[in-house]
Amino acid sequence: MAEEQKTGCSPSDCAGCSHAGECGSKPQSLIKPENKKSHINHVIAVVSGKGGVGKSMVTASLARLMREQGFSVGIMDADITGPSIPKMYGIHEKAKGDGENIFPCEAKDGTKIMSINLLLPEEDDPVIWRGPVISGVVTQFWTDVAWGELDYLFVDMPPGTGDVPLTVFQSLPVEGIVIVTSPQDLVRMIVKKAYNMAGQMDIPVLGIVENYSYLECPDCGRKISVFGESHIDEVAEELGVPVIGISRDSVTSHARFAEKNNLPFILLSDPDLTAIQAYGVWKEKKLYGKTSMGVVRTTFVISPDGKIEKIMEKVKPDTNAGDILAYLRENP
């Protein structure tokens, strides 16, 4: 312990130490430098408490959504023993290198992808490695892969809270995670483990996606809860996953508006239009014969599986809440 105090403790050391905040040691950053030929603006990890909940599908869906918004995107397949991203994108070629760098393969839509399957002699060769070796490979996907210019790098994590998630959280500058789950009660419990791990690593949870919520009968349209009733609302409320409003107004303006109207949800200031443009609501507006760019008031209803279910454009503040409630009653 004395030696750790001299050199500095890691974030995980402090998280589990009974003397945290008392010893005077400042946590040292374990973030690894990215490859010299990489310039990555945002790193988002997609995690799940257990396998088989559609985590890789959500990762690919998020990447595709961002590509459609015009962003440059990459996917790091950190699920070393169960890689599936290359197959989802129809990639069967091998990654190439120049002796110093490894170059990711590129999908038809321009998404850059790195996976252990792109390095193995055969796609179905098993990866029978111990944890430290697997963690080392994931780190190399960050330090040795020349990703180039990327707006977003999505990391498809292996299920659980073992060595690889810990390595990614400590070694990569992860800005937030998306947790993928399904309706089973067991999965609900495991989601909390993933959420708590992120909390201990000081990484925010950006959202929770529930897959397999129901099956819609093709004949009668009745929704069948094959894996049990959804508990996503209860889980989100219990874990404090918030409802968020976004505009380009200042933080001070938002604070006054929220206080005046006693708003129960968070308002985010987006002055550089990052989220606003991503959602496609920064458009031409005409007012008194003049044309200018501005935010078109829009409401997005997002389903439990993370898909935009309904877009309400040019909404009116005095009727929008009622319109949303009416839609939800008609589409339970």
Positions marked active-site: 220
Nearest residue to 206 via CA among 236, 167, 172:
236
Strands 282-287 and 290-295: antiparallel
The strand pairing partners of 37, in sequence order, are none
Nearest residue to 201 via CA among 242, 173, 159:
173
Rounded distance, CA 38 to CA 119, Å?
20
CB 46 within 8 A of CB 60: no
Rounded to the nearest 10 degrees, how much is the dihedral formed by the CA atoms of 108, 109, 113, 118? -10
Tell me which residue has tokens 């210019």.
149
CB 178 within 8 A of CB 62: yes
Rounded distance, CA 114 to CA 46, Å?
15
Q: Please give the backbone phi and psi of residue 322, each rounded to the nearest 5 degrees, phi first.
A: -65, -40
In terms of Cβ atoms closer than 10 Å to its own Cβ (0-12, 13-18, 19+), residue 325 is: exposed
